[in-house]
Amino acid sequence: MPGNILQLQFPRVRKDTGESFNYAAGQYVFLCVPSISSLQWHPFTISSSPHELMVTFHIKALGDWTYKLQLMVAAVSGGDDVVAPFDILVDGPFGSLSIDIEDPNTYSHVVLFSGGIGMTPMRSIVNWLHHQVHHGGRSNVERVHFVWSVRDREMLQSLVIDEAHKTGEYKGESYFPNGIVQDRGGAFSSEIHLTRSERDVESADIDRHLHGRLHYGARPDIAATLRSIGEQAKQSGKKRVGVLVCGPSTMVRDVVDKSLSLSWEMKVRFDVHSEVFEF
CA distances from 21 to 17, 84, 216 (A): 12, 19, 39
Q: What is the largest CA-CA distance in the chain?
A: 57
- Could you tell me if residue 140 is inside a domain? yes
Expressed as residue numbers, the domain containing 156 is: 109-276
What amino acid is encoded at 45 in this protein? Answer: T
CATH of the domain at 242: 3.40.50.80
Q: Of 39, 71, 94, which marks where a domain is finished?
A: 94
Q: Which residues of the chain have pLDDT under 50?
A: 167-172
Q: Count Cβ atoms within 10 A of the Cβ of residue 245 and give its class: 0-12 exposed, 13-18 middle, 19 or more buried.
A: buried
pLDDT of residue 169: 41
Domain annotation covers residue 272: yes
What's the CATH number where 89 sits? Answer: 2.40.30.10
Last residue of a domain, one of 47, 63, 94: 94
Residues 88 and 114 in one domain: no
pLDDT of amino acid 170: 42
Among residues 94, 125, 142, which one ends one of the domains?
A: 94
**Given this model, what pLDDT does residue 78 score?**
64
pLDDT of residue 52: 92
Inside any domain, residue 50: yes
| Same domain (yes/no): 118, 228 | yes
> What integer pLDDT is reported at residue 208 of this predicted model?
67
Q: What is the pLDDT of residues 230-261, one digit of tens each?
A: 999 999 999 999 999 999 999 999 999 999 99
For residues 147 and 43, membership in a common domain is answered with: no
In a domain, 99, yes or no: no
Q: Clarify whether residues 156 and 52 are in a common domain.
A: no
Q: Kindly state whether residues 22 and 154 are assigned to the same domain.
A: no
Question: Residue 167's pLDDT is what?
Answer: 38
**CB contact set of 56 (below 8 Å; sequence gap of 6+):** 7, 8, 9, 46, 47, 48
pLDDT at position 168 is: 39
**Average pLDDT in the chain:** 86
Q: Is 52 in the same domain as 125?
A: no
Q: How many domains does the chain have?
A: 2
The residue length of the chain stands at: 279
Task: Work out whether the CA dihedral 98, 103, 105, 111 comes out positive or negative.
Answer: positive
User: What is the rounded distance in angstroms from the CA atom of residue 219 to the CA atom of residue 193?
Assistant: 6
